[in-house]
């Protein structure tokens, strides 16, 4: 399995506030100097830990989770559930010696497109400082393959 690209970011977005911000950003032709892939979820409460671990194993350098503002989830508690899950994932990443800063949650209102763009730019800058996904940069295969 090949590593994706330099400074690749996977962004999970909920289908409500975050999707609206993404679409507004696209209408304004906002650009990012990073490879960002978006996966839409009905709500970030549907974000399973395996999605995060799999994305890191696939080679993404960082993962952003865009959620509705706290107390404003369209499914009432989805973003609260996601926050609790992400705290546990952070703890697990710490145990594994994997920098937990590579996984970040952003609370986003539908009209907050500047925050949306700024979040991606700042996260990309952070990843530049942290370097490549250590699963790949530490592998003997030159970052090309860690499992079949």
For ligand FES, the closer of residues 4 and 108 by Cβ is 108
Please calculate the CA angle 126-132-135 and round it to the nearest 5 degrees: 125
Q: Whose Cβ is closer to ligand FES: residue 76's or residue 91's?
A: 76
Footprint of ligand FES on this chain (CB under 6 A)? 14, 16-17, 43-45, 67-68, 73-75, 78-79
CA atoms within 13 Å, Cβ hemisphere of 38: 16
| The two structure tokens encoding residue 112 | 């907050």
Rounded Cα gap, residues 98 and 83, in angstroms:
19
Pick the closer one to ligand FES by CB: 16 or 98.
16
Contact 86, 34 (CB under 8 A): no
Q: For the CB of residue 95, give the shortest distance to ligand FES in the complex, in Å.
A: 27
Shortest reach from residue 17's CB to ligand FES, in Å: 5
Shortest Cβ distance from residue 48 to ligand FES (Å)?
Answer: 15
Q: Which of 52/127 has CB closer to ligand FES? A: 52
> Distance (Å, rounded) from C-alpha 45 to C-alpha 54?
18
CB of 3 to ligand FES, least distance (A): 30
The answer to whether 106 and 45 have CB atoms below 8 angstroms apart is no
């Amino acid at each position: 399995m090949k590593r994706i690209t330099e400074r690749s970011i996977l962004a999970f977005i909920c289908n409500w506030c975050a999707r609206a911000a993404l679409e507004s950003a696209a209408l304004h032709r906002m650009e990012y100097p990073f490879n960002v892939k978006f996966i839409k979820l009905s709500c970030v409460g549907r974000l399973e830990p395996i999605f995060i671990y799999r994305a890191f194993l696939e080679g993404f350098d960082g993962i952003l989770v865009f959620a509705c503002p706290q107390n404003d989830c369209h499914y009432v508690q989805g973003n609260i559930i996601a926050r609790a899950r992400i705290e546990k994932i952070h703890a697990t990443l710490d145990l594994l010696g994997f920098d937990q800063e590579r996984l970040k949650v952003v609370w986003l209102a539908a009209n907050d497109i500047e925050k949306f763009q700024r979040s991606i730019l700042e996260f990309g800058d952070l990843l530049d400082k942290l370097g490549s996904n250590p699963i790949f940069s530490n592998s003997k295969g030159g970052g090309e393959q860690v499992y079949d």
